[in-house]
């Protein structure tokens, strides 16, 4: 059974740096430790466990992998592999599928070999980068937004909010659009299409007026693009009414979508801004303009890293910073909310939703598909980990689909919509689910008691052995204790009806 909470998690690998050309691989002639550890990191440990040789070579090994590690002796590679053998393998009920047929889907009717594309950004901004992504297994790219403006980027241009293990949780950029000329980018499209005819080229464009939106769409089609994505949402291009300023004005979205649609014969999708209260007005406007799909989300306006000595936020460019776009895993809940809003909207039925915002693992991608995403785009995770993440995105999703008996990935699109309400007032309010404490796992830290006392309903006290005791009369079943327990020793427990229906 694929577990919701993997037995081995990123936390177990905290010192692994996910190296390039990992020395642990070079030190081992029996398994490829680096690929196995990456699969653990990207929630794909069931595939990793099934790819191990039948005999466990780690039993009688002096673990040269751990010695050659760039953090020699700090990563328990052998233990991690042993756990794949002894904890994960016995749980594997479904064999790794022998083909990726299940992953085949489409973007506005055009075939995709899998649902994964690079999203428009630096990760898909040159011929060599796109070619490398295709070779790695990405089904397509959304090329860095093409425009006729003179783009000169600031330096530095990124900033990050990091977790305790140093990995990037949220990412801020102040980058604008492609700094190549339109002609240079069209030459790249021609070369890419000639070399990779079955890969999907989504051409992101931004015009300054109707004529230019049309002209750019026409040129992209002429030079090999499979579809056009209209960038109505870059938060770093607000000057002159461009970027997310367009996405905030449905009339402009409709006008510019129509201009692009009338100028080409390939599908047109509108990329919308999350810097609005609701995305539906702009999405419906795009539909009226003839859009075949919606892409979302672009980055969220943000401020990060305010320096307490200079008073300048990050990135600081010559002593000055600016509000910029936030992306990465931190924005996923917000992105999911917008995708669900559009998935729920009957006016948008039939439109393709190309979903993005914080996808790192196959489980992230699946969440977007369950709420209506028909294809998945990724930038920040690729900036952090490289094109190689496609291996675990595909393998993890493929195994999940096989296990659940889905013949094709399209079958999961929208399955989570019915169980998600746009507002909380519709939820049932007559039952309380009390927390259940696993006394063997509890270490007596008292964090549940602190949170319940100061942020809950003062329903937990500690006994003489520092173990939690619940006052069922005070507990409202909010589950703050479940969330704060560092040992994960508190689980949802008994259900009790506290109010009669009505």
Ligand X SMILES: Cc1cc2nc3c(=O)[nH]c(=O)nc-3n(C[C@H](O)[C@H](O)[C@H](O)COP(=O)(O)O)c2cc1C
Catalog residues that contact ligand X under the rule CB under 6 A.
119-122, 144-145, 171, 173, 175, 177, 204, 231, 234, 271, 298-299, 327-328, 331, 356-359, 378-381
- Closer by beta carbon to ligand X, 201 or else 452: 201
- Closer by beta carbon to ligand X, 2 or else 149: 149
Other beta carbons less than 10 A from residue 496's beta carbon: 13
Q: Rounded to the nearest whole angstrom, what is the least distance from the CB of residue 46 to ligand X in the complex?
A: 24
Q: How far is CA 381 from CA 116, 181, 241, 338, 472, in A?
A: 13, 27, 30, 20, 44
Note whether 77 and 66 are within 8 A (CB).
yes
- Closer by beta carbon to ligand X, 119 or else 361: 119
Output the six-digit token pair for 410.
Answer: 């399209």
For residue 457, the Cα-to-chain-centroid distance in whole angstroms is 35
315 cis-preceded (ω within 30 degrees of 0) = yes
Q: Rounded to the nearest whole angstrom, what is the least distance from the CB of residue 308 to ligand X in the complex?
A: 25
Q: What is the dihedral of CA 207, 229, 355, 401, to 10 degrees?
A: -170
Q: Rounded to the nearest whole angstrom, what is the least distance from the CB of residue 142 to ligand X in the complex?
A: 7
Nearest one of 15, 92, 4, 98 to 48, comparing CA atoms = 92
Q: What SS3 class is residue 36?
A: helix
Q: Rounded to the nearest whole angstrom, what is the least distance from the CB of residue 441 to ligand X in the complex?
A: 34
Nearest one of 289, 145, 294 to 207, comparing CA atoms = 145
Q: Environment class of residue 432 by beta-carbon count within 10 Å: exposed (0-12), middle (13-18) or buried (19+)?
A: middle
- Closer by beta carbon to ligand X, 302 or else 380: 380
Phi and psi at residue 436, to the nearest 5°: -115, 130
Q: Rounded to the nearest whole angstrom, what is the least distance from the CB of residue 279 to ligand X in the complex?
A: 13
156 cis-preceded (ω within 30 degrees of 0) = yes
Q: How far apart are CA 40 and CA 435, in angstroms?
A: 29
Q: Rounded to the nearest whole angstrom, what is the least distance from the CB of residue 275 to ligand X in the complex?
A: 12
- Closer by beta carbon to ligand X, 114 or else 119: 119
Phi and psi at residue 340, to the nearest 5°: -65, -40
Instruction: Provide DSSP, 223-237.
Output: TT-SEEEEE---TT-
Other beta carbons less than 10 A from residue 18's beta carbon: 17
Q: How far apart are CA 398 and CA 412, in angstroms?
A: 12
- DSSP H helical segments within 264-386, as ranges? 280-288, 332-344, 362-370, 380-385
- Closer by beta carbon to ligand X, 283 or else 481: 283
Q: Rounded to the nearest whole angstrom, what is the least distance from the CB of residue 138 to ligand X in the complex?
A: 13
**Residue 426: CB partners within 8 Å, gap ≥ 6?**
none
- Closer by beta carbon to ligand X, 158 or else 437: 158
Instruction: Give the DSSP H/E element, type plus range, for residue 144.
Output: strand 140-146
- Closer by beta carbon to ligand X, 206 or else 401: 206
Q: Rounded to the nearest whole angstrom, what is the least distance from the CB of residue 220 to ligand X in the complex?
A: 14
Output the six-digit token pair for 238.
Answer: 């607000």
Q: How far apart are CA 120 and CA 158, in angstroms?
A: 16
Catalytic residues: 234
């Amino acid at each position: 059974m694929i577990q919701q909470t993997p037995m081995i998690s990123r936390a177990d690998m905290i010192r692994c740096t996910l190296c390039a050309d990992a020395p642990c691989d070079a030190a081992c002639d029996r398994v490829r430790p680096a690929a196995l550890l990456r699969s653990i990191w990207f929630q794909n440990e069931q595939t990793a466990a099934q790819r191990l040789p039948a005999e466990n070579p780690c039993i009688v090994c002096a673990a040269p992998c751990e010695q050659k590690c760039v953090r020699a002796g700090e990563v328990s590679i052998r233990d991690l592999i042993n756990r794949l053998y002894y904890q994960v393998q016995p749980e594997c009920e479904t064999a790794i599928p022998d083909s990726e047929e299940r992953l085949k889907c489409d973007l506005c009717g055009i075939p995709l070999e899998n649902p994964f594309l690079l999203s428009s950004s630096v990760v898909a901004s040159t011929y060599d980068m796109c070619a490398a992504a295709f070779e790695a297994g990405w089904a397509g790219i959304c090329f860095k937004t093409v425009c006729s403006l003179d783009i000169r980027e600031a330096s530095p241009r990124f900033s990050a909010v990091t977790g305790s293990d140093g990995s990037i949780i949220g990412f801020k950029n102040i980058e604008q659009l492609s700094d190549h000329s339109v002609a240079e980018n069209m030459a790249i499209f021609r070369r890419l299409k000639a070399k990779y005819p079955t890969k999907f080229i989504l051409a992101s464009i931004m015009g300054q007026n109707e004529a230019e939106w049309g002209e750019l769409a026409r040129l992209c089609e002429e030079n090999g693009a499979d579809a056009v994505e209209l960038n109505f949402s870059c938060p770093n291009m607000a000057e002159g009414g461009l970027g997310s300023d367009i996405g905030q004005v449905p009339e402009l979205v409709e006008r510019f979508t129509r201009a692009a649609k009338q100028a080409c014969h390939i599908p047109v999708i509108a990329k919308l801004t999350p810097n609005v209260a609701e995305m539906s007005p702009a999405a419906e406007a795009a539909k009226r303009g003839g859009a075949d799909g919606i892409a979302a989300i672009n980055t969220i306006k943000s401020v990060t890293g305010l320096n307490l000595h200079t008073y300048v936020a990050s990135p600081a460019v010559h002593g000055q910073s600016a509000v910029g776009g936030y992306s990465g895993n931190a924005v996923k809940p917000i992105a999911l909310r917008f995708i669900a809003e559009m998935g729920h909207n009957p006016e948008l039925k039939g439109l393709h939703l190309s979903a993005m915002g914080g996808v790192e693992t196959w489980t992230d991608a699946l969440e977007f598909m369950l709420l209506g995403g028909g294809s998945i785009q990724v930038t920040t995770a690729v900036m952090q980990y490289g094109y190689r993440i496609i291996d675990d995105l595909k393998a993890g999703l493929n195994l999940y689909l096989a296990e659940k008996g889905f013949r094709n990935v399209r079958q999961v699109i929208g399955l989570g919509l019915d169980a998600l309400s746009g507002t909380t007032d519709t939820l049932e309010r007559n039952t309380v689910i009390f927390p259940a404490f696993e006394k063997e796992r509890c270490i007596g830290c008292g964090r549940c008691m602190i949170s319940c006392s100061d942020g809950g309903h003062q329903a937990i006290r500690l006994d003489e052995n520092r173990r939690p005791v619940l006052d069922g009369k005070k507990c409202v079943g909010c589950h703050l204790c479940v969330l704060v327990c560092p040992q994960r020793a508190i689980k949802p427990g008994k259900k009790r009806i506290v109010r009669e229906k009505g």
